[in-house]
Amino acid sequence: MVGIALAVYPLFGTGYGVRAMLQLFMWVALAGSWNLISGLTGYVSFGHVAFFGAGAYAAAILIVKGGWPWALAALAGGAVASGLALLIGATCLRLKGPYFAIAMLGLNEVLRVLVSYFEGLTGGGLGLSLPTLDATVAIYYAMGAMAALVTLVAYVIVTSRFGLRLMTIREDEVAAEALGIDAFRHKIYAFLLSATGPGIVGGLFARDQGYLEPISVFPLAMTITMIVMTLFGGKGTVWGPVLGAVTLFVLQEVVWARFIYVHQLLFGAIIVVVVLFMPRGVLGLLQLKYRLPRTI
Amino acid sequence: MNVVITPAMVGQVILSGLLAGALYALVALGLALIFGVMRVINVAHGPLLMLGAYTTWFAYHRLGMNPYLTLLVSMPLLFLVGALLQRTLVFRVVDAPELSSLLLTFGVSIALVNLAQLAFTSDLRSIEYIGGSWMVGSFAFAKSRTIAFGFAAGITAAAFLFLQKTRLGKAIRATSQSREVAMVCGIDVQRIHLITFGLATALAAAGGSLLSLIVAIQPEMGQVWTFKSFLVIVLGGAGNYPGALLGGMLLGLVEQIASLFLTTQLSEAVAYVLLVLVLLVRPAGLLGGRQT
């Protein structure tokens, strides 16, 4: 029912409304993707926005220089992000959890530097402009599809053996390996999956915005938001990121976006509170209290 | 890149590297202490450095203090801040999986940076106290960096003396070697955690205060320092305190040498590449460290 409501919304929603829902879908997809690696395997990715930015730039370049249709370009963005994840994962996933996290912290900086460096291709600091096209409604559906897809993938993984193995890695990697789980391969798969979503979504975002510059697609704030949404909702669960994304997005739009530093500050505070008092997020609390199934 | 590299340039670059290295070592020592004693990766280390820089700025501009004297203000002040952080928040995650402490300090770091942005705005501030360089032969010693080197070296040396010679210092080292045995020896581990975190924050603050005379001050200035401090620890070997010294010097040198060959933009990526390389090739660090 909710699905039908969402599907017909653009017919009577306002421009702002459609835009807002579009963004909400984007956040659901982003948070859900972050959850795939960080929630399930416990390998916290502090640089996940890198995949979003990479996908955005890849798609934008294909649209501008190659004249690709935006849908295809977005998918290509996802492919590029996956490739990037493979590269990064092959090197960094061999590291133990905390080391991986710190390495990912540095990733943001590196990508921003690289984008500025390859100015000819990316337009550097001046930014990259896409030919104007009003595709807001189409992108609304595309983002919605992505949000649904990511949640579906999460569900499939969480209820599968693959997911169980990932979670074993999270709980105790050494024991997992002793059980015969090839941790590295599993981590890579999860990482690749977690990067594709942001890549595609980044491409869609690029089309929707019509203009890219390094600072707009690689902000730390985006990683932070992804993290807070998933943590708050419940990492490692299927609907946790969705819940977190909806709640925090609504709060953001209604209350905080006016005072950008206050809202980031609150995000920081929320992270602290969640880590200390509800490490499994809101959904985790509900799971405990009402004995909900693990695979929610 | 048709730059002819003369020996003089190399010499200058090595010099700059060493000058920068001491500062890296100072700040990284703090992070190393926290990691060694509590197994906590303090992502908030950089923002705490930033607070030290702002303390100096305010003390200089509002109270007219000599910027170098403000070390006497920023260090104790941030010691208290660090101790407070530890006592209220960090102590709860010391025994939790490392992930929790990572996320917690990450949250704290975001909060600190945004608090600073609210309180101080993102406007760049600076302290124009001492500029220019001393010339020794054909080598330029930037005054502010050289003095910073002196203080950093002094404070780091003092920290090492403290760790080696005093009872408290030895207690800290004992706790970082083995918490259980330290407890059996009658060391109050909770107190040691508190003091260590405070001390580490004070070291970061010292770094920040010295840095405030060299670069522009802004709320985001600390974040790259967290990363670089971590890199220094990895270079020197986690849990190895003298290793932090070596790592700091090495990072300073590598960055300066890289700037000879790369554009300034690319050389920012050098630290990152170095980290990945070291973690892949020799994760135990150059001085071997301990198995963590």
Per-domain residue ranges for chain B? 7-281
Nearest to B114 among A110, A261, A276 (CB): A261
Residues of chain A contacting B108 with CB distance shorter than 8 Å = 268, 272
Q: Is A102 within 8 Å of chain B by CB?
A: yes
- pLDDT at position B291 is 41
Nearest to B266 among A95, A113, A269 (CB): A113
Of A218, A226, A272, which to mutate for an interface test with B (greatest number of B Cβ within 10 Å)? A272
Q: Is B123 within 8 Å of chain A by CB?
A: no
Per-residue pLDDT tens digits for A204-249: 998 888 888 776 667 778 888 999 999 999 988 899 999 999 999 9
Per-residue pLDDT tens digits for A103-148: 887 777 777 677 777 766 666 656 777 777 777 788 888 888 999 9
Chain B residue closest in CA terms to A277: B92
Residues 6+ apart with CB under 8 A from B82: B48, B197, B198, B199, B200, B201, B202
- pLDDT at position A152 is 92
User: In this predicted model, which residue has the larger pLDDT, A195 or A256?
Assistant: A195
> What are the φ/ψ torsions at residue B6 (nearest 5 degrees)?
-95, 160
Contact at CB, B89 and A276, closer than 8 angstroms: yes
Contact at CB, B110 and A265, closer than 8 angstroms: yes
Distance CA B157, CA B279 (A): 28
Contact at CB, A268 and B114, closer than 8 angstroms: yes
pLDDT bucket at A30, cuts 50 / 70 / 90: very high
Closest CA to A271 of A228, A229, A233: A228
Q: Is A275 within 8 Å of chain B by CB?
A: yes
Instruction: Compute the nearest-CA separation of B131 from chain A (Å).
Output: 29
Per-residue pLDDT tens digits for B152-165: 999 999 999 999 99
Q: Is A254 within 8 Å of chain B by CB?
A: no
Highest mean pLDDT among A93-97, A255-259, B254-258: B254-258
Residues of chain B contacting A114 with CB distance shorter than 8 Å = 269
- pLDDT at position B282 is 75
Q: Is B41 within 8 Å of chain A by CB?
A: yes
Which residues of chain B carry a pLDDT beneath 70? 1-3, 264-265, 287-292
- Cβ–Cβ < 8 Å for A280, A236: yes
Distance CA B290, CA B292 (A): 6
Contact at CB, B93 and A272, closer than 8 angstroms: no
- pLDDT at position A244 is 93
Instruction: Compute the nearest-CA separation of A275 from chain B (Å).
Output: 6
Q: Classify B186 as helix, strand or coil.
A: coil
Residues of chain B contacting A107 with CB distance shorter than 8 Å = 272
- pLDDT at position B131 is 79
- pLDDT at position B209 is 93
Chain A residue closest in CA terms to B282: A95
Topology adopted by domain B7-281 = ABC transporter involved in vitamin B12 uptake, BtuC (1.10.3470)
Instruction: Compute the nearest-CA separation of A119 from chain B (Å).
Output: 12
Strand partners, A128: A212
Contact at CB, B271 and A46, closer than 8 angstroms: no
Encoded tokens for B198: 């405070």
Distance CA B209, CA B171 (A): 28
Per-residue pLDDT tens digits for A36-93: 998 888 888 888 888 998 898 888 888 888 888 888 888 999 999 999 999 888 888 8
Distance CA A99, CA A106 (A): 11
Sign of CA dihedral A200, A205, A206, A207: positive
Residues of chain B contacting A270 with CB distance shorter than 8 Å = 107
Chain A residue closest in CA terms to B118: A261
The number of angstroms, rounded, from the C-alpha of A170 to the middle of its chain's C-alpha atoms is 19
Residues of chain A contacting B267 with CB distance shorter than 8 Å = none
Residues of chain A contacting B97 with CB distance shorter than 8 Å = 42
Encoded tokens for B40: 């906590």
A198 has pLDDT over 80: yes
- pLDDT at position B157 is 93
Q: Is A278 within 8 Å of chain B by CB?
A: no
- pLDDT at position B205 is 95
Of B94, B117, B279, which to mutate for an interface test with A (greatest number of A Cβ within 10 Å)? B279
- pLDDT at position A280 is 85
Instruction: Compute the nearest-CA separation of B264 from chain A (Å).
Output: 10
Query: Mean pLDDT throughout A251-263?
Result: 73
The half-sphere exposure of B152 on its side-chain side, counting CA atoms within 13 A, is 29
Instruction: Compute the nearest-CA separation of B235 from chain A (Å).
Output: 12
Q: What is the mean pLDDT of chain A?
A: 84
- Integer-rounded Cα Rg, in Å, for chain B is 19
Instruction: Compute the nearest-CA separation of A84 from chain B (Å).
Output: 15
User: In this predicted model, which residue has the larger pLDDT, B284 or A288?
Assistant: A288
Please tell me what DSSP assigns to residue A211: E
Sign of CA dihedral A44, A49, A52, A58: negative
Closest CA to B19 of B156, B155, B153: B153
Q: Is A90 within 8 Å of chain B by CB?
A: no
Instruction: Compute the nearest-CA separation of A1 from chain B (Å).
Output: 37
- Where are chain A's structural domains? 19-219
Q: Is B277 within 8 Å of chain A by CB?
A: no
